[in-house]
């Protein structure tokens, strides 16, 4: 198996395979039933792999490395088809646009970047396909997400140096086309590390190291609820396909389900 921490996992559409990424620098494909690895490691450089995300059509995977590199992989060939450069530190989060034409990434370099996805052969050198780069004002970006219609971007992270005690860590809303700030959502008191948008676009949800989950009305950007039953960092959230149930995972060793 992996020889270092596993930071990401995705199910493939066939329901038979999952792909994982690890700080050991590899992506690996696994058979769900047997639990065994399928073929060899996917490797392209030695930098730790912090994040992965599956394309809407289920044919490609984007990965983010500790050195800031973003790679686009073809699942059928297990090879890199694009290498994108721009980030200068670890890439922690991705979100695909619904049409699969764009990828949004967030990095510890404090930026969120949009990339144009194009078909092509393996590229020996990184290329710059950046549609837009947003200097978010976060010291570190941990989470990024598109609105369902891809007109807005939400970012979350840590707003001050890691050496200082956090006072406030905001969620920021951006115009995806212009890159201009639309709103700043205040309330969290520690790193915002996960974001999710309901499919109807009416609610944005954020999870934080402050152990809380907060919901936001996207018509006026006001906070509508604080879910505070976790007792430690909230690391991940996910919304059910019908927008009715929220799942959350925490460092308090629990996973919880919430009615929305």
Q: Are residues 63 and 173 in the same domain?
A: no
Q: What is the per-residue pLDDT across 198-240, written as a single tens digit (0 to 9) for each?
A: 999 999 999 999 999 999 999 999 999 999 999 999 999 999 9
Q: Are residues 77 and 178 in the same domain?
A: no
Of 98, 117, 135, which residue is a domain's last? 135
Report the chain's mean pLDDT, rounded to a whole number.
Answer: 92
Q: Are residues 104 and 158 in the same domain?
A: no
| Per-residue pLDDT band at 121 (split at 50, 70, 90) | very low
Least confident interval from 7-16, 116-125, 138-147, 212-221 = 116-125
Q: Are residues 108 and 230 in the same domain?
A: no
| Per-residue pLDDT band at 130 (split at 50, 70, 90) | low
Q: Are residues 129 and 151 in the same domain?
A: no
Q: Are residues 115 and 149 in the same domain?
A: no
Of 135, 152, 173, which residue is a domain's last? 135
Q: Are residues 91 and 203 in the same domain?
A: no
Q: Which domain holds residue 220?
A: 140-260
The structural domain count of the chain equals: 2
Q: Is the pLDDT of residue 118 over 80?
A: no
Once rounded to an integer, what is the mean pLDDT over residues 66-92?
94
pLDDT of residue 128: 55
Q: What is the per-residue pLDDT across 14-56, written as a single tens digit (0 to 9) for each?
A: 999 999 999 999 999 999 999 999 989 999 888 999 999 999 9
pLDDT of residue 1: 87
pLDDT of residue 189: 94
* CA gap 260, 252 in Å, rounded: 22
Q: Is the pLDDT of residue 87 over 50?
A: yes
* CA gap 109, 89 in Å, rounded: 5
> What's the whole-model pTM score?
0.90
């Amino acid at each position: 198996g992996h020889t270092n921490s596993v930071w990401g996992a995705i199910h493939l559409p066939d329901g038979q395979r999952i792909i994982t990424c690890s700080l050991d620098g590899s992506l690996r494909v696994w058979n769900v039933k047997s639990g065994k690895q399928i073929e060899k490691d996917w490797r392209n450089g030695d930098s730790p792999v912090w994040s992965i995300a599956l394309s809407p059509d289920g044919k490609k995977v984007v990965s983010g490395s500790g050195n800031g590199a973003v790679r686009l992989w073809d699942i059928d060939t297990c090879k890199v088809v694009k290498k994108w450069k721009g980030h200068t530190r670890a890439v922690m989060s991705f979100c695909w646009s619904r049409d699969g034409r764009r990828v949004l990434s967030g990095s510890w370099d404090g930026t969120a970047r949009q990339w144009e996805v194009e078909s092509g052969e393996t590229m020996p050198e990184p290329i710059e396909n950046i549609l837009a780069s947003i200097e978010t004002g976060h010291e570190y970006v941990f989470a990024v997400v598109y609105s369902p219609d891809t007109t807005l971007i939400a970012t979350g992270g840590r707003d001050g140096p890691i050496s200082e005690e956090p006072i406030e860590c905001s969620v920021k809303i951006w115009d995806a086309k212009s890159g201009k700030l639309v709103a700043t959502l205040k309330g969290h008191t520690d790193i915002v590390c996960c974001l999710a948008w309901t499919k109807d676009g009416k609610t944005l949800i954020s999870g934080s190291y402050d152990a809380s989950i907060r919901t936001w009305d996207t018509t006026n950007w006001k906070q509508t609820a604080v879910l505070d039953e976790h007792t430690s960092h909230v690391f991940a959230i996910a919304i059910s396909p019908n927008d009715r149930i929220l799942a959350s995972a925490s460092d308090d060793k629990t996973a919880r389900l919430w009615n929305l």
